[in-house]
Amino acid sequence: MTKHSPSFSHAEVSDQTTEDLYRLGLLSPSPDRELSVRKPDHLRSPIRQDQFGPTLRRPFRPFESRETLGEMTKDLRARVDNWHGLEFQRFGTLRLRDFVRVGKDRQSWQELECYLFGEMLICIKEKKAVQPIITESGQRLTRCTLKGSILIKKHLRQVQAFEGEKILTLNLSVAELPTFYLQFKTGSQFETWRHALMDLHAPAAPVNHTHPEYEPETSGTDDEEYGRNNRTTRRRAPSVGSSVGGPKSATTAPTEYSSQRLSQRRAPSLHVPLDVVVVIPVSSSMQGLKIQLLKDTLRFLVHNLGERDRMGLVTFGSSGGGVPLVGMATNAWDGWDTTLNSIRPVGQKSLRADVVEGANVAMDLLMQRQAANPISTILLISDSSTAETDSVDFVVQRAEAAKVGIYSFGLGLTHRPDSLIELSSRTKGSYVYVKDWMMLRDAAAGVLGSLQSISHQNVKLRLKLPEGSPAKFYKISGALQTTKRATGRDAEASLGDLRFGDKRDVLVQLNIDPDTSSLAPAPQDAWDSLVSSLEALGGGVDSGDERIQSVEEVPLLLADLSFSDPLRDGRMQHLPRPTLLAITMLPASPRARASRSPTPTIPPHAHIVQRRMELLASDMLSRALGLVSRGQHDRAQHLLVETQTILKGLGKGSLPPLPPNGGSNNSSKRHSPPDLKAQTARQDSRAGSPERARDNSPHSDSSTPIPRASGIDPTMMNALDADIEASLEWINHPAIFLRDSRKAVLQAIGVIASQRAYTFRTASESLWADRIVGVKRLIERSREWRESDDESLAEE
C-alpha cells in the first residue's frame, strides 16, 4: 500500500469458534448484533425416547400459526356429521394434524386422518361418494366419519418409540384399549408426534421471553393457496397432508437427518429457516441416467432440509412451459416419494427448454406464499442448449425486489451458460458448472450447506470520503457489485450474503489531489506499471490520473457495513461505529526534495498483494475469454501465459519481467504464436534463475519493485496457477474450448472474484469451500449418501 494508492481490506466475519457455538445453539444475538453465550432449554434436559421423566423440558410448539390451526379446527368441526356426544369445546387447542396408520395391535392397520388436541386424540375417515360441504367462503370440504377418540391427556401413561419401524406405542390406562399404535411414513413425522405426545405430561420449563421467537404463519406448505390463484395451471401433486411441529428454537431450524437411507442419525444443524424452490428440466435430453441422478439429488435435498425449511419444485421444458409441481412443503410431507418417482422427461425433441421461464414460475411460487421464511432462494438446474435472454431482466427485477438469490447449475457439456450466469450474478448468487453428471448431488449439497450457514444477508460496504479528504475514488475491486454516487464522494460495494467462516477482501484505491506547492514527481507504483502492461495485451484500459504525494495529515476514507438481519425480520443493521482511515505525512522542504531521489513507496501488506494477485488472475481470465470470443485465440494464450509467469514470480517474492514491447508488437505474435510448452519452459527457467531474482524489468528504472511478501499463501498461488493452466490446455482448439473449458473458466472467474465456492473439485474451490462448516458437512453427507437403487443407476 502506498501513500498514493491506499487500500482498504474488509476483515472476516466470524471464526471457527463462533461457527461451532452457533451451530450448537449456544449463541443468541444481542441488540448490537454481538453474540452472547446462552444454554438453550432443549440442551439442558434431554428426555429419553422410551419413557417420561420428571425433568423439565421446553414445551412443544406447533409449526403452524394460531390462525391456521384455528381454521383447521373449524373445518374439522364442520366435516364430521356425528360427534357421538363428544363436547368439541373440551378438546383443547389443536397441536398436530397428519395422515397416520393406526391400529389396536401390530397386525392390522388402517390409515386415518388424526388430530392431536391438548386433551383429545381424534381419528376420522373421509366418506366416499358423498356431497361435499360448501362453506360461506365457497370452500369445498369433504364429509368425514368419526372413527375413534381417546382422552389422551387423561389416559396416556407412557410412550414407547420404535425408531427403526417408526412406530409409537401409546400405553393407556383404559382396560378396553391398553395399547394403541401409531405408524408413520417419515422420520420427521415420527419425531414430531413423539415429542408432542411426550410433552402432554412432561412439565414445561419456563420460557425466556427476553428473546422473541420466530413465528412462521404457515402450515409448512402454501400449495393450496398457490393453487387457488392458479386454477389454469396443470394439476400438481398436493403438498398438503402433513403438519410439522417439534421443538422450536428461536429463529433456528434443526436439520433433519432421519432419512431411511442413512444408516446413522447425525446431530441437527441449527440455522435460519429457508424457503428453497428447485427448478429442474424435464425436456427430452433428460433421459436415462441423467434423470435418475436428478431425482437422487432432489431426494438428498429433501432429506437434508431443516424442520422449518421448505422446498418447492418447478419443472420446465415440457409443452406446458414452466409448471409448479410442488408448493412450499417441508420434508415431513408424505407425498415427496411419490412426486419424485413420477418425474420423467416429457418434452419433445423439437421443443426449446426455456430456463428463464422456469425461473419466472419459481418467482411466482415464492411471491404467492402465505408467509415467508427469512431466507428465500432458487436453485436452477439446466442442461438447455438454448439461451433465452429476453425475459432475464424481468426475472432479475422480481428477484432483486423480493431479495431472492438464484443459484444456477449448468449440467453437462451442451448447456448454454450465458442466461444462467446472468441470472445468478445479477441476483448475487453463483453459477456452478457440473460437467460430470455424477457431481450434481455434491454441487447441490454444497449450495444447500452454504445457505444453511448464512449469518448476514445483503451485506453492503458503504464508503465515504469525509469532509477535508483530498482523495478521490480511483478503483474499487473485489465486490459483487460496485456503485459510485454522482457526487464522487460516496460509493457502495455489495458483498451479497455472508456465511459463518466467510471472508471478503475489498480493495479500495484512492487518488490524492496534487500538491501544487511541489513540482517533484511522485514515485510510480510498480504494481500499476505491471498491470497496465498486461492490460495492454488484453485490449487496454483507461489509466488513472497521475497521483501526487500529499503532505499533510488528513482523513481519507470512512467505511461502514450494513446488512439485513435474518434474525430480526430482515431489518437493516449497521456496525456500532464506522471505521476511519487516515494517513499522516510530514511535509518536506523543496530544497531537500531537489537534492534527493524520489521517496520509495510504503510496502503493501501481504494480504493486499495476494488479493491483488487473485483479482489479477480473475480479470485476465475474463479478458482472455473476450479475446477468444473475437477469434483471437493466440493472443488470449499469450496473455494467460504472461499472467501465469508473473504470478509465479510474485509467489516466489520477485517481479519477473514482461516481454519487451508487450503492448505494441502483439500483432506479429498473433500471426506466428510461439510454442506453448517451449515458451512456458523458457519463462519458468527465467523466473527461477539467479539473474532474474532481482527486478530487471523495463519498469525498474522508474518504479519501486514490489518487495518479497512472506505472508502470501503459496497454496493460493498454486491454485491460481492451476486455474490458468487448465484454461490454457484447450485454448487453441476453439470447438473443445467453447464446449467445455469456457464454462470451467467462467466458474473459476466467479469463484476467485467473489471468494465463494461450494465444492472441492478444484484447488481454488477447495480453499474457499473449506472455510464454511455447512458446506463441508453437507458434502460429506452427500458422499455418504447411498440410494437403495444405486445399482440400477449404474446399470442404466
Q: What is the pLDDT of residues 274-295, one digit of tens each?
A: 999 999 998 888 888 889 999 9
Please report whether residue 424 resides in a domain.
yes
With bands split at pLDDT 50, 70 and 90, how would you rate the model's confidence at 32? very low
As a whole number of angstroms, the distance between CA 324 and CA 362 comes to 7
Q: What is the pLDDT of residues 109-153, one digit of tens each?
A: 999 999 999 889 999 999 887 888 887 777 788 889 999 899 888
What is the average per-residue pLDDT within 168-186? 89
Greater pLDDT, 117 or 659:
117
The HSE-up count of residue 289 (CA atoms within 13 Å, CB side) is 13
What pLDDT does residue 641 have? Answer: 93
276/367 same-domain check: yes
Q: What is the pLDDT of residues 34-50, one digit of tens each?
A: 333 333 333 333 333 33
For residue 448, give the CATH number of its domain.
3.40.50.410
> Do the Cβ atoms of 329 and 336 come closer than 8 Å?
yes
Q: What is the pLDDT of residues 233-262, one digit of tens each?
A: 343 333 333 333 333 333 344 443 333 444
DSSP calls for 112-134: EEEEEESS-EEEEEEPSS-PPEE
Cell reading at 570:
430482515
How far, CA to CA in Å, does 314 sit from each of 12, 107, 383, 397, 449? 36, 40, 15, 20, 21
> Do the Cβ atoms of 27 and 518 come closer than 8 Å?
no
With bands split at pLDDT 50, 70 and 90, how would you rate the model's confidence at 397? very high
156/273 same-domain check: no
> Do the Cβ atoms of 245 and 307 come closer than 8 Å?
no
State the CB neighbour count (10 A cutoff) for residue 349. Answer: 7
Q: What is the pLDDT of residues 604-635, one digit of tens each?
A: 788 888 899 999 999 999 999 999 999 899 99
What pLDDT does residue 352 have? Answer: 61
111/177 same-domain check: yes
180/267 same-domain check: no
**Is residue 672 pLDDT above 50, yes or no?**
no
270/188 same-domain check: no
Please report whether residue 272 resides in a domain.
yes
Instruction: Lay out the sheet containing 431-434: strands in order across.
Output: 321-329, 310-318, 274-281, 375-382, 405-411, 431-434
Over its C-alpha atoms, the chain yields an Rg (Å, rounded) of 31
57/192 same-domain check: yes
Cell reading at 758:
461450494
What pLDDT does residue 268 have? Answer: 57
171/309 same-domain check: no
What pLDDT does residue 138 have? Answer: 74
Point out the least confidently predicted range of 78-82, 298-302, 518-522, 672-676: 672-676
With bands split at pLDDT 50, 70 and 90, how would you rate the model's confidence at 685? very low
- Positions of E strands within 646-737: 703-704
Please report whether residue 697 resides in a domain.
no
What pLDDT does residue 539 have? Answer: 64
- Choose one of 155, 171, 199: the last residue of a domain: 199
Cell reading at 754:
467473489
273/177 same-domain check: no
Point out the least confidently predicted range of 285-299, 453-467, 594-608, 661-675: 661-675
With bands split at pLDDT 50, 70 and 90, how would you rate the model's confidence at 379? very high
**Is residue 388 pLDDT above 70, yes or no?**
no
Cell reading at 766:
477447495
**Is residue 652 pLDDT above 50, yes or no?**
yes
Please report whether residue 433 resides in a domain.
yes
Most confident of 311-320, 459-468, 698-707: 459-468
What pLDDT does residue 637 have? Answer: 92
Please report whether residue 653 resides in a domain.
no
Structural domain containing residue 115: 46-199
Kindly report the average pLDDT of the chain as a whole number: 74
What is the average per-residue pLDDT within 390-397? 86
266/187 same-domain check: no
Instruction: Lay out the sheet containing 179-183: strands in order across.
Output: 144-150, 121-126, 110-117, 94-103, 179-183, 167-172, 156-162
Please report whether residue 187 resides in a domain.
yes
**Is residue 756 pLDDT above 60, yes or no?**
yes
Q: What is the pLDDT of residues 558-602, one digit of tens each?
A: 999 999 888 887 788 888 888 998 887 666 555 555 555 555 566
Q: Which amino acid, residue 584?
A: T
For residue 121, give the CATH number of its domain.
2.30.29.30
What's the total number of domains in the chain?
A: 2
Which residue intervals of 539-605 are DSSP H helices?
A: 590-594
182/287 same-domain check: no
Please report whether residue 364 resides in a domain.
yes
- Choose one of 393, 420, 453: the last residue of a domain: 453
DSSP state, 437?
G
DSSP state, 347?
-
Please report whether residue 266 resides in a domain.
yes
> Do the Cβ atoms of 560 and 572 come closer than 8 Å?
no
Greater pLDDT, 219 or 712:
712
What pLDDT does residue 86 have? Answer: 86
With bands split at pLDDT 50, 70 and 90, how would you rate the model's confidence at 773? very high
Q: Is the overall model pTM greater than 0.85, yes or no?
A: no
With bands split at pLDDT 50, 70 and 90, how would you rate the model's confidence at 784? confident
Tell me if residue 90 falls in helix, strand or coil.
helix
- Choose one of 453, 484, 517: the last residue of a domain: 453
Cell reading at 52:
417420561
